[in-house]
Chains A and B, each alone.
Chain A
Amino acid sequence: MPVEIDIARVARLARIALTDEELEHYGAQLTGILEHASTVQGLPTEGVEPTAHPLGMVNGWRDDEPGATLDRDEVLAAAPDHEDGYFRVPPFLDE
């Protein structure tokens, strides 16, 4: 089954900055893999529920009580940038 991919849009959604050459390379590979994988589309699955968890377990709840957490300074020490106890990032919006 032929597969159409807007690979530049996919890369943007995935937040990965790829060059034009890389986009072409991955686009071609994805097309090949998806054409192979799309054989699943031909299988009769009407009325079949999807499986999200192999053993069909229910959610596990715990009591809403505060417990031990990771040490903030230790966690921040692993971050590329931090300030006043927070992670620091570049602006969200361009000026």
Chain B
Amino acid sequence: MTDPADLTIADAGARLRAGELTAVDLLDAVRRRASMTEAILHAYLTIDHAGASEAAAEADAALARGEDRGPLHGIPVALKDNMVTRGVETTASSRILAGWVPPYDATVVQRLRAAGAVIYGKTNLDEFAMGSSTENSAYGTSRNPWDPDRVPGGSSGGSAAAVAVGSAFGALGSDTGGSIRQPAALCGVVGMKPTYGLVSRYGLIAFASSLDQIGPLGRTVEDAAMLFEAITGYDPFDATSSPGPVPAVRASLDGGVDGLRIGVLSELASEGVEPSVAAAFHDTLDRLGAAGATIEEVSLPTTKHALSAYYLIAPAECSANLARFDGVRYGPRIDGPNVEQMMAATRRDGFGPEVTRRILLGTYALSAGYYDAFYGQAQRVRTLVVREFAAAYERFDALVTPTSPTTAFPVGARADDPLAMYLSDVCTIPSNLSGDPAISVPVGLDESGLPIGFQVLGPALGDDTVFRVARTVESLVGFAARPALATSEGAV
């Protein structure tokens, strides 16, 4: 019989309801898988054994009473460690939050619990979600399950690795410039950034508030859609939460692409894209065309400047958000003779190099004399990006690009070159600026056996369309490979 850890959420749920498996069995399967893989992958920062055991037993008891909380009932899931969990250490991979145990749950955590999900643990990330490789964690880098010498992507690298290898059935990540989609692509799983505002950010440790969005990672598009439906919806605790209705993504999953107009973003689908990635991308386009979609190139010239605008806007917001880490209310403190020196010493000791770099960059971009030239201008360029996308969505139902121009790169390869690392996110950043939904779905492996992601972008509140196109891509391509580390006996 299949190891339960290899089941999709949909299959595991069906077996749970048929009485073939219990929630405790599913949790045991995830534990076995983690014990095989964690020594190499380091996908998790914290595993909540006691809390997960209790939640799984409770899920079984509830089901026995006839109480079914929906598709995630009894399913073990993982959370990126920048979402706060009551009673469970939350560090965002930073030394400045070492040992911090939050006194409350993030809204997404409350919603997962209410949906019956079993929260297994907190996954590794780049410190405060700043990075594209998970190498910026203060607690050690995570590894790519397809090749442990390579990065899992970032910043939600731990979540992507855990889902790929089966040490979680699904996971939540956060996406400020591609931090869900890029690691999903590099680890061969599905990762989705919902329309900005559809998921509450209450209890998400903020990086860049106008760009951050929580979203799901799953092994299939359907699994990601189930997680999406569990976490979306208005939350009065988040002033940027969208009060309108949430698109019903699962109901439209199997609508196909016949008659849809799909635009290929020419600026992002050519330059710097590795040949194997380009080949898989074009093969997928051919399949979508054969399935009835109209495929046409579209040029959005300002997207070329999206990366530059992003690297002014995101650090500016980060420098403001991270001002709260000052040694006063939580985390460790380095003493000093006065409060300013205490704060400066605490922050110097607590932040890693990438976070320090971005705080400095943002502080500069916001400082007197430079504010308008850098930050103000970047926000105006952002307006141009938003307008170009809006115009494109008058002609197209969805836009597509490769998710990442390259497959997973070796650990250390870009660590000393911030600009090269920033270029990892060139295809994903534009939809953070526009706030529109986007998804990455695996479409193949390169010659080294590393996964390749295909990205679908849609208009604001067109989350159902991006899920539907992704589901079609998934069924047309039939990507079913799993990393050997997860399944072969003795591989670890």
Contacts and interface: CB of A to CB of B under 8 A. Distances in A.
A91 interface: yes
Contacts of A80: 327-328, 330-333
Contacts, number: 176
A48 B360 CA distance: 27
Most chain-B CB neighbours within 10 Å: which of A12, A54, A74, A92? A54
Given A10-B363, A60-B241, A62-B236, A38 B374 contact: yes
B261 to A, nearest CB: 23
For the residues of A in contact with B, the DSSP-based class is loop
A5 B104 CA distance: 41
B69 interface: no
Interface string A6-43: 01011111111110000000100110111011111101
B312 A57 contact: no
A78 B103 contact: yes
Among B340, B345, B373, the one with the most A-chain Cβ atoms within 10 Å of its Cβ is B340
Contacts of B166: none
Nearest to A87: B328
B363 A14 contact: yes
A55 B383 contact: no
Contacts of B312: 37, 40
B374 A43 contact: no
Contacts of B357: 26, 29-30
Contacts of A55: 195-197, 242, 435, 460
B145 to A, nearest CB: 31
Interface residues on A, range: 35 or more
Nearest to B330: A78
Nearest to B356: A16
Interface in B297-314: 302, 305, 308-309, 311-312
B396 interface: no
Contacts of B197: 55, 57
B159 interface: no
A30 B239 CA distance: 33
A49 B380 contact: yes
A11 B360 contact: yes
B62 interface: no
Contacts of B381: 40, 43, 45
A70 B104 contact: yes
Nearest to B433: A54
A87 B342 CA distance: 14
B339 interface: yes
A41 B336 contact: no
B337 A13 contact: no
A57 B339 contact: no
A57 B344 contact: no
Given A41-B373, A53-B210, A57-B240, 9 more contacts: A5-B364, A17-B348, A29-B418, A30-B361, A36-B311, A40-B377, A45-B377, A78-B103, A90-B337
The 4 closest A-B pairs by CB, nearest first: A54-B435, A50-B379, A80-B333, A17-B344
17 contacts: A14-B347, A15-B340, A26-B356, A26-B360, A32-B419, A37-B374, A38-B308, A40-B374, A43-B377, A45-B383, A52-B210, A55-B460, A74-B103, A80-B331, A90-B335, A90-B339, A90-B342
